[in-house]
Amino acid sequence: MKDRNQLRDRIHEIIFEADTPEGKRFDVIIMILIVASVLTVMLESVSVIQWQYEEVFYIIEWIFTIIFTIEYILRLYSVRYTWRYATSFYGVIDLLAIIPTYLSIFFMGSQSLLVIRALRLMRVFRIFKLGQFMSEGMIIVKAMKASRVKISIFLFFILIVVTIIGAVMYLVEGTFDNTGFTSIPKSIYWAIVTLTTVGFGDITPQTSLGQFLSAVVMILGYAVIAVPTGIVSAELVDQAKAAATNTQACRYCGEDGHDDDAKHCKYCGNILNEPHNH
């Protein structure tokens, strides 16, 4: 019984931890396998290649799936709280990464779903867990989280604007046969393509009034595209400032986070940097 626990702990150490040499090696191997399997799925979708090597792809796909299935079972087995892992973000991804192959026995074409394995690559951040890499990533995540509300309001506003623009353009251009503005949803699609400055050109205004309105939309979009960038920039400037803040801790109460020009601890009022002797 104890041996079994030891085995479980050992497996857990190799599979889940990236600090030990074995754990790191395991993670690197898994990463390479994921990249290889995603590339396989990609190549398989290219019809010229697929026709020639149909059987080879079939075998390779099953080999990857079996390896990942074993890995998944080992993860379930070795983890302390099986259910918690199974329902966690990575647990769900790990399961979704093997299901499509089994589904392909019943449903044709579901193999393409295997690219969901690419999401498993996010584990790569675990390898670099320690040190600078993670904290830098954290600043972006923090800035994104902090600007979440602002960006949501902004996107909601954009959705309303885009609906109105789409409807107006449908009214202006829709009666002409050769334009792509055949319905309001298609016109909204055009408005989004335009406002985000993607500009595919699959649908373009043909009438003078339509082109004039498009020009107005684009000029507005020019000013509007500045907003989310401004939001994230301001947030990142803020984060950078927070990170740059004085690391000095008060000798009396131990609190830190003081400004560079602070002379007294802002929490207990004691003098901060002795040498000054005010």
Burial of 35 (0-12, 13-18, 19+ CB in 10 A): middle
Question: What mask of x and - would describe binding to a copy of itself in positions 239 to 258, judged by CB under 8 A?
Answer: xx---x--------xxx-xx
The alpha helices in 79-207, defined as continuous H runs, are: 82-86, 89-96, 99-103, 124-127, 132-146, 148-173, 184-195
Question: What mask of x and - would describe binding to a copy of itself in positions 144 to 163, judged by CB under 8 A?
Answer: x----xxx-xxxxxxxx--x
**Minimum distance between the CB of residue 245 and a copy of itself, rounded to whole angstroms?**
10
Give the C-alpha separation, 116 to 99, whole Å: 10
Please enumerate in sequence order all residues whose Cβ is within 8 A of that of 142, keeping only pairs 6 or more positions apart, or say none: 239
Closest Cα partner for 99 from 85, 87, 113?
A: 113
Of 37 and 78, nearer to a copy of itself (C-beta) is 37
**Any contact of residue 260 with a copy of itself (CB under 8 A)?**
yes
Residues in 62-121 at the binding interface with a copy of itself, rule: CB under 8 A? 109, 112-113, 115-116, 118-119, 121
Closest Cα partner for 94 from 112, 131, 120, 115?
A: 120
Residue of the chain from 31, 42, 74, 76 that contacts a copy of itself (CB under 8 A)? 42
**Any contact of residue 236 with a copy of itself (CB under 8 A)?**
yes
Tokens 């298609």 sit on residue: 186
Give the C-alpha separation, 4 to 8, whole Å: 6
**Any contact of residue 46 with a copy of itself (CB under 8 A)?**
yes
**Any contact of residue 133 with a copy of itself (CB under 8 A)?**
yes
**Minimum distance between the CB of residue 74 and a copy of itself, rounded to whole angstroms?**
24
Residue of the chain from 26, 91, 170, 173 that contacts a copy of itself (CB under 8 A)? 170
Of 18 and 79, nearer to a copy of itself (C-beta) is 18
Of 59 and 242, nearer to a copy of itself (C-beta) is 242
- The amino acid at residue 139 is I
The alpha helices in 174-263, defined as continuous H runs, are: 184-195, 208-224, 226-244
Closest Cα partner for 91 from 126, 120, 50?
A: 120
**Minimum distance between the CB of residue 56 and a copy of itself, rounded to whole angstroms?**
17
**Any contact of residue 164 with a copy of itself (CB under 8 A)?**
yes
**Any contact of residue 226 with a copy of itself (CB under 8 A)?**
yes
**Any contact of residue 201 with a copy of itself (CB under 8 A)?**
yes
